[in-house]
């Protein structure tokens, strides 16, 4: 472990590894960058080294992931950990030649890391045999469900002849994850290191209010002023990514881009350019949010605010990984204020809204209701208007009526 700079286990690893070593099914949840991959890879390799053969290899472990970027990351982790073991790993994913992957499988493989679409194709075409699979891992299961892979996952799992162990990992344990676990996992150990509202302590958050038409201009200024070598900028749409990519290039900023319409080779090249320092900025849509692993990435910019809090969490999780410090800057237009407040509430954040000098707001600001000042009695707790207003009014009315009756008598 010293060769790959591992010194101490993370919280998720401390909890998952002991139960995984016993062959128990696992439902695990932990935020991005906390070491989930190693948490399941190490027990797998320990189990495999006792049963694998040099000749006549068969697929014994199936790891299903949502994106090709995550398939790359998981495969690299397995290969680095199994460097001195006779264990063969192959990726089955879109964006690469099928014939190359089929050839590797025919040569003999112990572990398959696959994206759902390509794997299902191979199963239908009988290019892969899952008869001997005894361990199945679903990594970033919540993302796969969000991307609409539920039918493919169920079909793939039914193609496996009742694996002895299943592990399902996710950043959050949603109701859909629980349903999936109930259907396919057998009395799993539930390991939840952190809930969805926790945030990485090593990440500093900032937010800048800006006019819609000046977001790209402010992004360029931030990239220049921050003085960091690697910046990951997240946008919501492919069209926005393309426009921002062109704008930053025009500003003389070395930029690469990743989104769904860019083929596998182009996406891999874009990531390599950033990691090698040949580009300073990578503009990406959320398709890459959970698969990108850039060691010590210093800065993430939310150019657009994502719709879901979980997407915000996963974007943020690209920095501050493995106890390294990171920073996240979120750009807010007038339409983002309320939504960002909701995200802050969910994640227990309190981010100061700033305005960059030279970027004063000209867009019409939304009207906000002024809070009613509480009376001294309310402050002392005598009256809770939110809960007792109707009750108080009814009690006073009843008291007045009783007083009138007494006077009549």
Domain annotation covers residue 360:
no
Q: Supply 23's token pair.
A: 């062959």
In a domain, 25, yes or no: yes
Res. 404 pLDDT band, cuts 50 70 90: confident
The pLDDT tens digits for 270-320 are 888 988 889 999 999 987 556 677 778 899 999 999 988 878 888 888 887
pLDDT at 198: 44
Tell me what pLDDT residue 385 has: 47
For 391-401, the pLDDT digits (tens) are 555 667 777 77
pLDDT band at 322 (very low <50, low <70, confident <90, very high): low
Say how far apart CA 15 and CA 19 lie, in whole Å.
7
Bridge partners, residue 284, by sequence:
234, 258
377 exposure class (CB count in 10 Å sphere: 0-12, 13-18, 19+): exposed
For residues 35 and 145, membership in a common domain is answered with yes
pLDDT at 395: 67
What pLDDT score was predicted for residue 88?
Answer: 94
**Domain identity same for 69 and 165:** yes
The stretch 105-112 carries a mean pLDDT of: 94
- Decide if 210 is inside a domain: yes
Structurally, how many domains does the chain consist of? 3
- Judgement on whether residues 170 and 208 belong to the same structural domain of the protein: no
Assess whether 62 and 124 both reside in one domain: yes
Range of the domain at 166: 2-192
CA 279, 281, 286, 289 dihedral sign is positive
Query: For 187-199, how does the pLDDT look when each residue is reduced to its tens digit (9 = 90+)?
Result: 999 998 864 444 4
Verify that 254 and 392 share a domain, yes or no: no
The answer to the question of residue 32 being in a domain is: yes
Strand, helix or coil for residue 294: coil
Helix and strand totals (H; E) in the chain: 15, 14
The model's pLDDT over 29-69, given as tens digits with 9 standing for 90+, comes to 877 667 889 999 999 999 998 888 878 899 999 999 988 88
Residues sharing a CB contact under 8 Å with residue 24, sequence separation 6 or more, in sequence order:
165, 187, 188, 189
Same domain, residue pair 128 and 245:
no
Q: Is residue 361, in this structure, part of any structural domain at all? A: no
Is there a domain that residue 198 lies in? Answer: no
Whole-number pLDDT of residue 266: 83
Q: How far is CA 362 from CA 28, 207, 353, 366, in A?
A: 47, 17, 16, 12
pTM equals 0.66
Dump pLDDT digits (tens) for 221-263.
999 999 899 999 999 999 999 999 999 999 999 999 998 788 7
If asked whether residues 123 and 37 sit together in one domain, one would say yes
């Amino acid at each position: 472990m010293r060769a790959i700079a591992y010194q101490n286990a993370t919280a998720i690893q401390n909890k998952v590894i002991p139960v995984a070593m016993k062959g128990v099914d696992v439902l695990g949840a932990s935020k991005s960058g906390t070491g989930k991959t190693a948490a399941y890879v190490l027990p797998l390799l320990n189990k495999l080294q006792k049963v694998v053969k040099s000749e006549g290899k068969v697929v014994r472990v199936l790891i299903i992931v949502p994106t090709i970027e995550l398939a790359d990351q998981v495969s690299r982790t397995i290969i680095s950990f199994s460097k001195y073991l006779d264990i063969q790993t192959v990726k089955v994913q879109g964006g690469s030649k099928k014939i190359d992957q089929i050839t590797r499988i025919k040569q003999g493989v112990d572990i398959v890391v696959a994206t759902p679409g390509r794997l299902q194709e191979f199963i239908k075409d009988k290019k892969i045999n899952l008869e001997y699979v005894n361990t199945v891992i679903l990594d970033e299961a919540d993302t796969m469900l969000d991307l609409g892979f539920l039918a493919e996952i169920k079909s793939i799992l039914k193609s496996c002849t009742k694996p002895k162990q299943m592990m399902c990992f996710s950043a959050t344990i949603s109701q859909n994850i629980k349903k999936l676990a109930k259907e396919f996992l057998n009395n799993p150990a539930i390991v939840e290191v952190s809930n969805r509202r926790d945030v990485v302590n090593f990440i500093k958050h900032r937010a800048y209010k800006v006019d819609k038409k000046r977001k790209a201009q402010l992004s360029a200024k931030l990239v220049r002023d921050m003085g960091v070598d690697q910046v990951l900028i997240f946008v919501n749409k492919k069209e926005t990514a393309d426009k921002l990519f062109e704008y930053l290039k025009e500003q003389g900023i070395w930029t690469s881009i990743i989104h769904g319409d860019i083929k596998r080779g182009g996406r891999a090249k874009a990531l390599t350019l950033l990691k090698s320092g040949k580009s300073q900025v990578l503009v990406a849509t959320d398709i890459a949010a959970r698969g990108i692993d850039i060691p010590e990435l210093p800065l993430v910019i939310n150019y657009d605010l994502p719709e879901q809090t979980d997407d915000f969490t996963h974007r943020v999780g690209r920095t501050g990984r493995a106890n390294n410090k990171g920073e996240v800057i979120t750009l807010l237009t007038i339409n983002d204020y309320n939504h960002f407040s909701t995200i802050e509430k969910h994640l227990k954040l309190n981010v100061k809204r700033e305005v960059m000098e030279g970027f004063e707001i000209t867009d019409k600001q939304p009207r906000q209701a002024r809070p009613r000042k509480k009376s001294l009695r309310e402050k002392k707790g005598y009256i809770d208007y939110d809960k007792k207003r109707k009750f108080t009014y009814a009690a006073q009315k009843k008291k007045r009526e009783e007083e009138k009756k007494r006077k009549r008598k």
